[in-house]
């Protein structure tokens, strides 16, 4: 396999138990990944944006409950 066929990856964030990274595929598509234990979720860009919107809603709701 040539290097041009391998996706380019970049870690977005990492904790002791979780990791998120993005990959730029050889066809130019960007995929986002979240690894939780032995499960990995894969998102296309539009799905990733919707997932981030959901996470923002959850954080906002949690912050309101804590206060």
Q: What is the tens place of the pLDDT at every residue in 19-59?
A: 999 999 999 999 999 999 999 999 999 999 999 999 999 99
pTM: 0.83
pLDDT band at 64 (very low <50, low <70, confident <90, very high): confident
Position 39 scores a pLDDT of 97
Q: Is the model's pLDDT at 66 over the cut of 80?
A: no
**What six digits make up the tokens of 23?**
């990959």
DSSP-assigned letter for residue 17: S
Q: What is the dihedral of CA 25, 49, 62, 13, to 10 degrees?
A: 30
Q: Is the model's pLDDT at 1 over the cut of 60?
A: no
**What six digits make up the tokens of 55?**
């996470």
Q: Is the model's pLDDT at 63 over the cut of 90?
A: no
22: CB partners within 8 A, 6+ apart: 9, 10, 12, 30, 31, 32, 33
């Amino acid at each position: 396999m040539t290097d041009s066929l391998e996706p380019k990856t970049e870690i977005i964030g990492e904790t002791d138990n979780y990791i998120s990274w993005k990959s730029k595929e050889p066809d130019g598509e960007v995929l986002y990944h979240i690894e939780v234990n032995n499960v990995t979720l894969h998102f296309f860009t539009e799905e990733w944006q919707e997932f981030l919107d959901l996470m923002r809603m959850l954080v906002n709701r949690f912050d309101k409950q804590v206060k």
